[in-house]
Homo-oligomer: A and B are copies of this chain.
Amino acid sequence: MTDDKIDLNKLSTLPPDDVKEKEIREKTVELLQQLKDFQAKLYAQAKYAVLVIIQGMDASGKDGAVKNVFSGVNPAGCRVKSFKVPTEEEQKHDFLWRVHRECPEKGMIQIFNRSHYENILVPSVYKLLDKDVIKKRFGAINAFEKLLKDHDTIIFKFYLHVSEKEQLERINERLTDPMKRWKYQEEDIVETRHREEYMRIYEKIFRDCNEVPWTIVPSDKNWYKNYCILHTIVKELSRYDIRYPHEY
């Protein structure tokens, strides 16, 4: 099984060489309009729910992805949930409790900025839980995502892949740019020291939490990151029968 394992260090964080920024930006504008159209129909039809999970290290561009991919979509049909350190109440429940209540009903697009995968990542890196407890979580997540799929939820899972250099530059920017200073937290620096460990856990997750496949997004360039996410979503939604209920 270890053979199928993705090696993140071998995957580029940059756009492919033959890609032209100008063309990608033009395509992105088209894709944004297509996503907007899909959302309107999804909401009217209320047949499918859409769940977009965005994972990635600190400063990998998760917030920017939410903003740049989903601004433009009618907020009546699109919700964003950022999962932070669990509250006291949340900690008294199983780790999927707080996640489950934020899952989209039919007709809605729900975006998770971080997700239940943090409950594998953090305890693995900081050795907060026994290995067998973490192993059970893999099983629980697979069963959970299957449950959602069986309820006609179309799920996307994105990992935003940035280089260490780019990551450190962005964290530094948070310290110097007054418009970004509010995002800086001391933990950012601490977390980057664990970069390699995080990557090893992500590689396990990609292999073992594959009930819904992952999309690994080269994310050093925001224009390419946004395009990849949009393109993946629009292409997949095109495969479903999404239309106004009285339209034939």
Contact = CB atoms under 8 A, between A and B. Distances in A.
Label chain A's interface by main secondary structure: mixed
Interface in A79-107: 79-80, 82
A181 B248 CA distance: 12
Interface in A145-187: 178-179, 181-183
Contact of A247 (B82, B178, B248): B178
Interface residues of A, number: 29
A45 interface: yes
A239 interface: no
A76 B67 contact: yes
23 contacts: A36-B71, A44-B179, A44-B182, A44-B183, A45-B182, A63-B76, A66-B75, A67-B76, A70-B75, A71-B73, A71-B74, A71-B75, A73-B75, A75-B78, A75-B79, A76-B82, A76-B113, A178-B246, A178-B247, A178-B248, A181-B244, A181-B245, A182-B246
